[in-house]
Structure 1
Amino acid sequence: MNPTILAVTTGRILRQLRHDRRTIALLVAVPALLLTLIYFMYVDQPTRPGQPAVFDRVALIMLGLFPFVIMFLVTSIAMLRERTTGTLERLMTTPLGKLDLLFGYGLAFGLAAAVQASVAAAVAYWVFDLETAGSTALVILIAVVDAVLGVALGLLASAFARTEFQAVQFMPVVVIPQLLLCGLFVARDQMAGWLQAVSDAMPLSYAVEALQEVGAHADPTATMWRDLAVVAGAAVLALVLAAATLRRRTG
């Protein structure tokens, strides 16, 4: 990768994003609205003595899941549009490399995710009184890394799609199994052995575990840092694989 080209590419993507008001609304407003919905779903739920409130447990995990899901959807469609409009083909005639393009997407949407996570965390902590043992900064950090993972997987999935509808169809294949097996609905150690093995192979499981560590411990734990490294490594691997499978055209 060329640092100068990478910086220019990141700037181009950020400028495009700035002029797309609908995408900005999706990135910033939707997580806050969904957290509001979750709050009113769980606000009156009883809490067992010594256990965190149901909203605290669920909202903490959602702060990491929302960026992952939204970034997967946005970037898979955005990259497909780059190909179908001929933009990608024109870019590839310049010194721009595939890694410059894909890591530029990762950096640009990672910055957007930092804004998204900060707004969502502000709503959760200051409006709805979310309580966690660990710091808000760690929650935001994990959410941003989750978002970059969503970007990377979205870019990888877009390489196998010919239309925007096909890009969206990858969500049940890539996203939903991770949501079901990440430990949100059933603790991973309570799953059947083969399901736990599948869960262990999915990076989102480690993101959820990292958030749970922040929720339960005042100081960063070794498990949290390990899990965060796994998620970041999976994101980098997905970006490299996306570069290897990137095609200029849909057909």
Structure 2
Amino acid sequence: MIRLKALLVKEFIQMSRDRLTFAMMVMLPIVQLLVFGYAINTDVKHLSTVVFDQSLSYESRDLLSSFEASGYFDINYAAGSFQAVSDHIESGKTKVGIIIPPDFAANLKHGRTASFQVIVDASDSMAASSAISTAQMIGQIKSQQILVEKMQAIAGKSIAAPYDIRIRPWYNPDFVTAFYMVPGILGVVLTMTMVMITSMAIVRERERGTLEQLIVTPLKSYELMLGKIIPYVFVGYVQVTLALLVGIFVFDLPVQGSILLLYGLTLIYILAALALGILISNMAQTQMQAMQMSFFIFLPSVLLSGFMFPREAMPRFFFWLSHIIPLTFFLEILRGIILKGLSIRFLWSQIAALLVFITVALTVSIVKFQKKLG
């Protein structure tokens, strides 16, 4: 019993000395609770919406006001053509497009059915389902309001439904879950392996006592960093290839875009994930610290990147916080190429964000990594 007490005291003393490890153990549950309890929300509201209003009438403005008043649609763009609507949705700027024809007001005034189109980006099935159900509900409510007014004036006559909502789900019209999840899983697997493996690279050398051998070499700091990164690039490509083959042949994943473009942009993300791992490795003192820091970053990356939960449903703070997570941009690239068939002209902002992240992470790592024993 005395020996057990002595062992417990020794472990608590050791834990208190390793302040970073202790802080990570305390902070990790708090981060999990905040992210799970506050940031994660399946009720998707404030979907960015583009409108092509060819009617420009009181009736069309009243309809659009109903969409905005629901809280599910934020009309952020006014398009001048159908192609402009298409470009906004393809680029990811908007999730919903509303197209109102020129004869919309005239049809309502003459008692005819007035049609309008709602285009939804169904590559995010959860957000698309919310948008479709809300749009249909708005159409039904507006129709009921007009029908009540007409029935009070004209009794005993059949009246056509005032609104005809034509829903057009793009990219994943059948809402196949695998089409949405498989590209996301590919990104998550890359993140988990690249970050966690490389996060222990420098620390492992230090603990084994082999870091001194690297320090006495004529290699420069950035050359040592590259030497730790490059071998894992090939590992990442093997994972991507296997994941794509399984997705295509097992889940019938439709790859709409260029495979060469996908592989080229995947290299940028692999470098970003490896740069993050190297940064963690330079900050950690032990492999345990490196593992805890990797998990501390990995969990928010999965939850806030849009892998499982739509980012549009998150509070503004967490939505903007997701912009510093590399996986957020890589998922947009993956789903954009695989499901939408996007070309590189629609992906420049995501590419730029990843390149900035790589530059910052590697620069900090090189500066922090001194050619001397830590």
- Which of 85, 88, 104 is equivalent to 2:211? 88
CA deviations 1:136-174 (Å, max 9, x no partner) are: 333333433322222111111112222211110002322
1:191 aligns with 2:314: yes
CA deviations 1:2-38 (Å, max 9, x no partner) are: xxxxxxxxxxxxxxxxxxxxxxxxxxxxxxxxxxxxx
Look up the SS of the partner of 2:347 in the other structure: helix
- Which of 316, 321, 335 is equivalent to 1:212? 335
1:113 aligns with 2:236: yes
* Bigger Rg, which one: 2
The answer for the alignment partner of 1:73 in structure 2 is 196
The answer for the alignment partner of 1:135 in structure 2 is 258
1:231 aligns with 2:339: no
CA deviations 1:172-227 (Å, max 9, x no partner) are: 32221121110122222222111111112322211111112113322414332321
The answer for the alignment partner of 2:323 in structure 1 is 200
In 2, Cα distance between equivalents of 1:155 and 1:237: 12
The count of residues paired between Structure 1 and Structure 2 equals 205
Q: CA RMSD in A?
A: 2.4
Look up the SS of the partner of 2:254 in the other structure: coil
Query: What are the residue-to-residue correspondences of 1:26-37 with 2, within 5 Å?
Result: none
Cα distance 1:110–1:232, how it changes in 2: closer, same or farther (>3 A)? Answer: farther
CA deviations 1:19-74 (Å, max 9, x no partner) are: xxxxxxxxxxxxxxxxxxxxxxxxxxxxx871441011100121122112101111
Q: Which amino acid aligns with 2:220?
A: G
Could you tell me whether the CA contact under 8 Å between 2:282 and 2:368 is conserved in 1? Answer: yes
Query: What are the residue-to-residue correspondences of 1:148-167 with 2, within 5 Å?
Result: 148-167=271-290
Residue 249 of structure 1: CA displacement? 7.0
Could you tell me whether the CA contact under 8 Å between 1:67 and 1:143 is conserved in 2? Answer: no
Cα distance 1:110–1:199, how it changes in 2: closer, same or farther (>3 A)? Answer: same
Could you tell me whether the CA contact under 8 Å between 1:73 and 1:154 is conserved in 2? Answer: yes
Q: Could you list the runs of 4 or more consecutive aligned residues of structure 1 that deviate by over 6 angstroms after TM superposition?
A: none
Q: Calculate percent identity across the aligned residue pairs.
A: 28
In 2, Cα distance between equivalents of 1:65 and 1:140: 16
Look up the SS of the partner of 2:283 in the other structure: coil
In 2, Cα distance between equivalents of 1:248 and 1:83: 12
The answer for the alignment partner of 1:240 in structure 2 is 363
Cα distance 1:111–1:229, how it changes in 2: closer, same or farther (>3 A)? Answer: farther
- Tell me, which stretches of 5 or more residues in structure 2 are unaligned? 1-128, 130-168
TM-score by length of 2: 0.50
Residue 133 of structure 1: CA displacement? 2.0
In 2, Cα distance between equivalents of 1:148 and 1:196: 24
Could you tell me whether the CA contact under 8 Å between 1:109 and 1:148 is conserved in 2? Answer: no
Cα distance 1:131–1:217, how it changes in 2: closer, same or farther (>3 A)? Answer: same
Q: Which has the higher strand share?
A: 2
The answer for the alignment partner of 1:40 in structure 2 is none
CA deviations 1:77-112 (Å, max 9, x no partner) are: 222112222322211212101100112222221122
Q: Which amino acid aligns with 2:301?
A: Q
In 1, Cα distance between equivalents of 2:355 and 2:210: 29
In 1, Cα distance between equivalents of 2:244 and 2:367: 35
Cα distance 1:210–1:204, how it changes in 2: closer, same or farther (>3 A)? Answer: same
In 1, Cα distance between equivalents of 2:257 and 2:249: 15
Could you tell me whether the CA contact under 8 Å between 1:67 and 1:144 is conserved in 2? Answer: no
In 1, Cα distance between equivalents of 2:363 and 2:237: 22
- Tell me, which stretches of 5 or more residues in structure 1 are unaligned? 1-47
Could you tell me whether the CA contact under 8 Å between 1:121 and 1:136 is conserved in 2? Answer: no
